Every structure is written in structure tokens, then in C-alpha cells.
């Protein structure tokens, strides 16, 4: 996994923590909309796709589309599950659910990338 991918996973962790910590705080409308769009449309899907496929197997366009699709699927699933749960669907509950999913998937992606890293000297190592 490339260094930029690790940086993006760290940013997704930060967005997840930010979504959890600021879910019940009044912010500027621009910040709230930006964070909401990130946590619903981009960040959880990126973390999930990175966790499922530790090696980059898609073209950049396919990666963006799979990220968007996975984020929308996660958001819809979380909304339905929270709507049926006794907790109920609210701004706080959906932010916490999507933020926790993002953290879980980001940490899983980093761990899987470290575990599946090819040892030096194999045919996959092209740095020589």
C-alpha cells in the first residue's frame, strides 16, 4: 500500500472522530454540511473498500465509484438499522454509527495492509 493511501486512511480516521465528537454541537452551517457530506458519501466507503481490498486492484475511476457505492450502502443500512432500533434515527445516532464504522474499517485496512505486505526479496518487490 502506498504512503498516500495511509495518509488518506489517517484522514478518514480523523473525519470519523470529528463526526462523532461534533455530532451534537452547533457548528457553522458550512462546516456541518461539509462534514455531513464527507461522512455520508465518501469516508466510510473509502475505509470499507480499503479494508476489503488491501491491494489496489481498481483503476482510479472504479475506486471512486466503489467508494461512493459502499458509502451510500453503509449510510442506508445504518439509517434503517437505527430507525428500527430503540435508539432511533437522529443526527447524533447516525453520526456515531457512521463514525464508528469509519474508524473500524480504517484501522482494519491499515492492519491488513501491514500484515499482507510482501516480504523483501520476493517477486512482488520491484524496488530493486
For residue 16, how many other CB atoms are within 10 A of its CB?
A: 27
> pLDDT grade, residue 80 (50/70/90)?
very high
Whole-number average pLDDT of the chain: 84
Q: Which residue has the cell 461522512?
A: 39
pLDDT value at residue 20: 80
Give the span between the Cα atoms of 2 and 27, in whole angstroms: 34
Please say if the pLDDT value at position 70 is more than 50. yes
Lowest mean pLDDT among 63-67, 86-90, 114-118: 114-118
Q: What mean pLDDT do residues 84-93 have?
A: 90
Give the ranges where 1-128 is alpha helix by DSSP (H).
3-21, 29-37, 43-52, 60-84, 91-115
pLDDT value at residue 13: 85
- Please state the pTM of the whole predicted model: 0.80
pLDDT value at residue 122: 53
Q: What mean pLDDT do residues 26-48 have?
A: 85
Query: For residues 113 and 52, is the Cβ–Cβ distance under 8 A?
Result: no
pLDDT value at residue 72: 95
Q: Where are the domains of the chain?
A: 3-115
Amino acid at each position: 500500500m502506498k504512503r498516500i493511501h495511509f495518509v488518506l486512511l489517517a484522514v478518514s480516521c480523523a473525519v470519523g472522530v470529528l463526526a462523532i465528537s461534533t455530532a451534537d454541537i452547533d457548528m457553522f452551517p458550512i462546516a456541518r454540511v461539509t462534514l455531513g457530506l464527507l461522512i455520508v458519501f465518501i469516508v466510510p466507503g473509502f475505509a470499507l473498500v480499503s479494508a476489503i481490498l488491501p491491494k489496489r486492484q481498481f483503476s482510479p475511476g472504479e475506486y471512486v465509484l466503489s467508494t461512493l457505492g459502499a458509502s451510500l450502502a453503509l449510510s442506508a443500512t445504518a439509517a434503517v438499522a437505527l430507525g428500527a432500533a430503540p435508539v432511533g434515527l437522529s443526527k447524533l445516532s447516525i453520526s456515531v454509527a457512521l463514525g464508528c464504522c469509519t474508524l473500524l474499517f480504517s484501522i482494519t485496512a491499515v492492519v491488513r495492509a501491514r500484515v499482507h505486505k510482501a516480504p523483501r526479496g520476493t517477486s512482488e518487490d520491484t524496488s530493486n
